[in-house]
Amino acid sequence: MTRIWQITAYLNYLRKRKTRYHVHSPFVYELVDKVFKDKKRYKEYRELNRLRKKFIQRSDKVEIMDFGTGAGNKDYLIRVKRVGDIVRQSGHSKKQLELLFRLARYFKPETILEFGTSVGVSTTYLSKGYPPAKMITMEGSMGLTTIANETFKKHNLGIEVEVGEFGAILDEVIKNTQKLDMVFFDGNHRKKPTLEYFNKCMKCVHEDSVFMFDDIHWSRGMYKAWEKIKKDKRVSLTIDLYWIGLVFFRKGVAKQNFILY
Ligand SMILES: C[S@@+](CC[C@H](N)C(=O)[O-])C[C@H]1O[C@@H](n2cnc3c(N)ncnc32)[C@H](O)[C@@H]1O
């Protein structure tokens, strides 16, 4: 069912997407030009892509708590999986990760919050994109955070890892953070929790914040959550890049929802 949904969603996206020449917002045009279409090979890519490749090649196993859609109706399921398989199946492509790097580099967020550390691959790309940022990442599987922490230590990254179920730890994380400049929602891809996380993070939002939702077309539930977020009065601008949706809160602009190539 999910597969059929994904194929239909992709065909719809192909039909509706536009190039930058259809964009009349200077802010979005510049974002497309300077970030999405930036072909420069940043020196950091080599080390970052090597790290991702090494993870994919790992055959050691780790115990994970599956909190997301894989757990069905249960709160979580315990599984043992190969590290390489985790990164291949639930991680991102090189191109997607490089875009995360460039988004952090472009927006220069003072504080970044990530839902879903896994072994720390996307966390590292975001953090390297703008090293002065205070990077906080949340993950429910202790086994995964142990691996992630080893990576952060090896790469000298002062990343704050909060271990626990998102719903249980988010209030405390937000209380201690106050201002969120960039949030990457990449865990528990279900409608209700996604909207709950969105609403809680809204407490710390400001005009220049950017929220990034992974897998907005992955399931009917995620798509419904995305549609609701797009319609939220506090949201001024959204960009759908199919695998990720970007949300902005800029004031004084007419509300617009872009579906871009
Ligand atoms: C898609 S993976 C994250 C991938 C990672 N951001 C990357 O690209 O390298 C999602 C992660 O979120 C965690 N997760 C999902 N639902 C959670 C929840 N409700 N509480 C805590 N962790 C959760 C999972 O254990 C999993 O490691």
Would you state the pLDDT for residue 46?
98
Please give the full DSSP string across 99-167, using - where no structure is assigned. Answer: HHHHHHHHH--SEEEEE--TTSHHHHHHHHHSTTSEEEEEES-HHHHHHHHHHHHHTT---EEEES-HH
Alpha-helix residue ranges (DSSP H) falling in the chain: 2-16, 26-31, 43-57, 83-90, 94-107, 121-129, 142-154, 166-177, 191-201, 220-231
Whether ligand 1 lies within 6 angstroms of the CB of 70 is answered as no
pLDDT at 95: 97
Which of 87, 98, 118 gets mutated to test ligand 1 (max ligand atoms within 8 A of its CB)? 118
Cβ-count burial of 139 within 10 angstroms (0-12 exposed, 13-18 middle, 19+ buried)? buried
pLDDT of residue 167: 95
Q: Is the CB of 145 under 6 A from ligand 1?
A: no
Measured distance CA(94)–CA(49) in Å, rounded:
7
Check pocket membership of 124 for ligand 1, CB cut-off 6 A: no
Q: What are phi and psi of 253, to 5 degrees?
A: -120, 145
pLDDT in tens, 241-258: 999 999 999 998 888 898
Q: What is the pLDDT of residue 7?
A: 83
What is the model's pTM? 0.94
**Spatial CB neighbours of 11, under 8 Å, sequence gap ≥ 6:** none
The pLDDT score that the predictor gives to residue 83 is 97
Using the predicted structure, report yes or no on whether residue 20 has a pLDDT greater than 70: no
Per-residue pLDDT tens for 157-198? Answer: 999 999 999 999 999 999 999 899 999 999 999 999 999 999
Instruction: Give phi and psi for 129, each to the nearest 5.
Output: -65, -35
Return the ligand 1 atom nearest residue 121 CA: 9
For residue 184, list its beta bridge partners: 114, 212
Q: pLDDT for 53-110, tens place per residue?
A: 999 999 999 999 888 666 667 777 898 999 999 999 999 999 999 999 999 999 999 9
Q: Is the CB of 219 under 6 A from ligand 1?
A: no
Cα(116) to ligand 1 centroid in Å equals: 3
Domain assignments of the chain as residue spans, ordered by start: 2-60+90-259
**pLDDT tens digits, 203-235:** 999 999 999 999 999 999 999 999 999 999 999
Please give the average per-residue pLDDT across 197-204, as a whole number. 97
Mean pLDDT (whole number) for 109-129: 98
pLDDT exceeds cutoff 90 at 1: no
Q: Cβ(118)–Cβ(91) under 8 Å?
A: yes
CA distances from 48 to 152, 157, 161 (A): 12, 13, 19
Q: Tell me, in angstroms, the distance from the centre of ligand 1 to residue 111's CA.
A: 19
Nearest residue by C-alpha to atom 27 in ligand 1: 118
End-to-end, the C-alpha distance of the chain in Å comes to 26
Distance CA 128, CA 5 (A): 35
HSE-up (13 A, CA, CB side) for residue 165: 10
pLDDT at 82: 97
| Structure confidence at residue 222 (pLDDT) | 95
Q: What is the CATH number of domain 2-60+90-259?
A: 3.40.50.150
Whole-number pLDDT of residue 110 = 98
Which of 53, 80, 139, 165 for a ligand 1 pocket mutation test, highest count of atoms within 8 Å of Cβ? 139
CB of 122 shorter than 6 A to ligand 1: yes
